[in-house]
Chain A
Amino acid sequence: MSTASPTRQYELVYIALPDTTEEGLAELHTQIVTVVDRFGGSVERTEAWGRRKLAYEIGRQREGVYVLEVLNGPGTMTAELDRRLRVTDTVMRHLIVRVDEELAMAERSKVRRKSLTVARRLRRGLPAEPTELEVARRKEHEEDDMDNGPDMGGFRDRDRGDRGDRDRERGDR
């Protein structure tokens, strides 16, 4: 094991006060970049989601300016970022999540599924990739499949609420 901490990928989302100006946001960004640079990390991309309504009030605010930064760097970097963001008054809330493992896992299952599909198709004597005709036919099917609608097949209104307390007399069988 090497002593240098490994580079990992993190996602940082922070919510700035709704009245933060463009310059204020730019300043926040440069602050983050400085910290990241100091730890030898890099900013992969930045996404500004802009003003959004909050799902609940945070310190009497109903709206917030969301910014997402995808960072590469060591774990010590996130500790420092966390500390700094907590004392920054213009940032109402922030969240740092390590994503490299999760994304790698998703990628792996994608690859595995793909190879399984190819193997299955070859066993049935079909070409490895679906032909154009198949793609068109599948699309047609999807259109008349109403089960995959936005309400998930309508399970929502079938919620019977939490189960009541278990009957004591019955014991376990």
Chain B
Amino acid sequence: MSDYESKGGGGRGGAKDKDKKDGDKGRRTFFRRKRVCKFCVEKIDYVNYKDVKLLMPYIPERGKIQPRRISGTCATHQRAVQTAIKRARQLALVPYVTD
């Protein structure tokens, strides 16, 4: 706590800085749509690893698995998506890497 205060005048963590960050956030939320878990909304109970069409939105160009913070998937379903993608990769249905 005291550590935080002592840095007040520095470049980081000061009150001034905090204000700026809040402003930043406000600007960003302007663009951000509320993210919802697709699987909860559409009531998909089983994430099928054979369904490439279902998994494709979670694999951006590079071939990595889309993180939750971007897709908005809930923890339960992100885990399901993760195993499904990994299975689909073994069967060459989706790529491991693309460059």
Contacts and interface: CB of A to CB of B under 8 A. Distances in A.
Interface of A is mostly: mixed
B92 A55 contact: yes
A56 B70 contact: no
B72 to A, nearest CB: 7
A13 B57 contact: no
A68 B95 CA distance: 20
Contact of B70 (A55, A58, A150, A158): A158
A155 B35 contact: yes
Interface of A: 13, 15, 54-56, 58, 64, 66, 68, 93, 95, 97, 102-103, 105-107, 109-110, 113, 147-148, 150-156, 158-160, 167, 169-171, 173
Interface string B1-12: 001100100001
Contact of A56 (B12, B13, B42, B95): B95
B10 to A, nearest CB: 8
Contact of B50 (A13, A109, A147, A150): A13
A39 B70 CA distance: 46
Contacts, number: 69
A170 B60 contact: no
B94 interface: yes
Given A55-B94, A95-B87, A167-B12, A173 B4 contact: yes
Interface SS majority for chain B: loop
Nearest to A167: B12
Interface of B: 3-4, 7, 12-13, 31, 33, 35, 38, 41-43, 45-46, 49-50, 57, 60, 66, 70-72, 87, 89-97
Nearest to B56: A150
B45 to A, nearest CB: 4
Contacts of A109: 45
B49 to A, nearest CB: 7
| Minimum-distance CB pairs A-B, first 7 | A106-B45, A106-B46, A54-B92, A55-B95, A152-B57, A55-B92, A109-B45
